[in-house]
A and B are shown apart, each in its own frame.
Chain A
């Protein structure tokens, strides 16, 4: 059914609060977690909404007309899809007229493409051509007594990641039996103190391992964008990746998330307003998550409804849909709460296809 699939890495640039509502516990506003593993996650509905919103940021409404903004990414999209700026014309009661949204804004082909990709925003009923899974955790940063911090992962996470890679047809992650690599790290790691590491206040006996080094290298080459500003992190991940047991990993993702105490200042007294003190849980900066993105041909019947994705075969149609997404996806999106204090900025990086 899905003809094109991609794996999208999400690198948290600032702490991220994908909230699950309020709770009577130590933390007032906890983050979303998988019901059965307790690992942190980002719900796909929220993620899809954020990505859609990011795409919608490419156009503005001026005088009730939809208009594409002038930016390099839009120009790239226009190279491949030159019709995006044209009016979105529909046949209504034997009359051709420009499509409008519920606020009366006149729409263009770019809006049509978004409707087809993510699903329509009016009464019309058809599904979008994109499927996004829950974002799953891959690597989690933990403070280390030596070397500032380490990334941790565990066999269950690695096993699942491997299966997910198989779904999208990436075969270069040729590692198996992750249970054999519990409490190992790459050679020449910065965080090792003789044969031990100290993460938060806990000490683990660790061994250096060649395979773990290769896994770390695989991550280093693919997770971070190939930019100078990531050099420090690319080098760090090669050395400071630790595979812990599933239980230890879960424990850290439960107890080492960033919990921020927020207060509200009473403007009259200048001190903390009584009763206005609450705690919020965040995924720390440098958490690595991933999500699978799958594409289908557009879900509309008539050829003339397919807009810029119209092609001579379903396969070509999917390729156009996928291309539109890949070209258009912003390098940075914002997910979760508290955007206005700089939270939730996430760097996106689509895993490139390997032959």
Chain B
């Protein structure tokens, strides 16, 4: 159900949401046009337009981002629309941060949780890291506008799920052990990689020690189908101002990637915009009953963060962190 409501600049845009909700959205999310007088023909001409929240109230960013997406009903505005819409998300998050003092209450509660777990025999290891450039998690998630980003299910803020942190640490460890093994045995890298990857999954032991970490340590840290891993990788939350930025990927040979035509210069580039997190500080927590495994996991995680990167587009330098 969508309805068109004429707003100030006489242009239309639509929401694909229930009717009563749409009415509220029209009241709360305005699209303002900027008009200027063209001296040549003495007519008012539209220069630009922009979404803006009418009232100063904190909105759920996840809802705005994934469900309440304004769509321009004018053909020539369609492309710009996504850009403006992402900018709107950024400005709403900034408003929210200001009002809720950088979500300090989440930080405090996480601290309390890990402090309690320490009382029950867990050793806690926490460190802060800042993403050196840009970070994008969940880019390929389901989203009406193709490019997504992982936001917290209830609070709606960007965060790094523990699964992503554990996954990249494990992947890094496998690369590292394979690399070491190849240097010693002079075998084909991808074969060794597969062997080690399978070995870690099944819990087979290899007689390998890299930087003081044995393969048995790896098996214990990450666990196998038979035995649970002994290190807990908690979600990482932002602890400084969250800098959201609009990024762009620009496929120059779209027809080629669709498998239809050879790559050629007559194809039109298709710019696709997406949100990234830039230079934001995160708090990482690791927990374990075993101090040795914990420090091995910390070492691997920090290396993975520094040298491999977390999330999507790591081969382009996204997702790397500097430890603080």
Contact = CB atoms under 8 A, between A and B. Distances in A.
A340 B229 contact: yes
Contact of B60 (A57, A144, A228): A144
A149 interface: yes
A229 B112 contact: yes
Interface stretch (A261-269, A299-307, A312-320): A261-269
Interface residues of A, number: 56
B190 interface: yes
Contacts of A338: 163
Contacts of B231: 340
B141 to A, nearest CB: 7
Interface string B1-43: 0000000000000000110110010001000000000000000
Contacts of B223: 340
Interface residues of B, number: 60
A143 interface: yes
A82 interface: no
A341 B68 contact: no
Given A229-B111, A268-B193, A146 B234 contact: no
Given A145-B59, A262-B163, A201 B68 contact: yes
Give the most central of A72, A146, A198, A268: most B CB within 10 Å.
A198
Interface in A178-215: 190, 193, 196, 198, 200-203
B67 A200 contact: yes
A222 B314 CA distance: 46
A40 interface: no
A245 to B, nearest CB: 16
A146 B59 CA distance: 5
B21 A332 contact: no
A267 B108 contact: no
B21 to A, nearest CB: 5
A340 B166 contact: yes
A47 to B, nearest CB: 18
Contacts of B67: 200-201
Interface in A50-76: 54, 57, 69, 71-73
B254 interface: no
A71 B121 contact: yes
A332 B109 contact: no
B63 interface: yes
A208 B72 CA distance: 36
Interface in A253-278: 258, 260-262, 264-265, 267-268, 270
A18 B314 CA distance: 33
Interface string B84-105: 0000000000001000000001
Contacts of B175: 267
A248 interface: no
Contacts of A190: 58
Nearest to A286: B154
A343 B171 contact: no
B197 interface: yes
A143 B60 contact: yes
A69 B123 CA distance: 14
A274 to B, nearest CB: 14
B112 A71 contact: no
Contact of B162 (A143, A284, A341): A341
Given A72-B119, A265-B167, A342-B233, A227 B63 contact: no
B162 A343 contact: yes
Contacts of A331: 116, 119
Contact of A15 (B58, B119, B153): B153
B155 A149 contact: yes
B100 to A, nearest CB: 8
Interface in A72-88: 72-73
10 contacts: A144-B60, A145-B59, A193-B24, A196-B24, A203-B20, A229-B112, A230-B109, A267-B175, A270-B171, A340-B231
Given A202-B18, A286-B154, 14 more contacts: A72-B119, A145-B63, A148-B96, A149-B60, A193-B28, A198-B24, A229-B111, A231-B105, A267-B174, A267-B197, A285-B152, A339-B232, A342-B234, A345-B117
